[in-house]
Amino acid sequence: MRLIGNVIWLICGGLLTCLEYLLGGFLLCLTIIGIPWGLQAIKIGMAHLMPFGRKVVPTGGSIPVISFVLNVIWIIFAGLWIALTQLLFGILLCATILGIPFGIQHFKLMRLAFYPFGYDLR
């Protein structure tokens, strides 16, 4: 079921969103200041490739204060809008019976898009 869900996800927009996150991440990595946020954008982009069968979990290896500060900056400049977009897509997809599994994936990715530092998709 994971394979079928991931293939349908890629065809219905997952590949496009992955490429958008990767492009944004690579552009952020061109500046020294943007490297931490660029790496997180790349992580979210890779999560958009195959979200079925994976869970958002704390990494445990990060320093909480630094992760908090980086998450606050992320939320102010990008995270809020990305999370709201994921929420909107999740609600729209859950309005149909066939879209419920894909809506649930958007809700899962919304959490990662809102707090990327200190969390990972495994």
pLDDT for the residue 64: 85
Q: What is the 3-state composition of the chain as percent helix, strand, coil, each rounded to the nearest 5?
A: 70, 5, 25
pLDDT for the residue 41: 93
The rounded average pLDDT for each run of 10 residues, N- to C-terminus, in the chain (122 residues) is: 90 88 94 94 91 88 84 92 90 92 91 89 84
pLDDT for the residue 117: 92
pLDDT for the residue 95: 94
pLDDT for the residue 17: 87
pLDDT for the residue 60: 76
What residues does each domain of the chain span?
Answer: 2-121
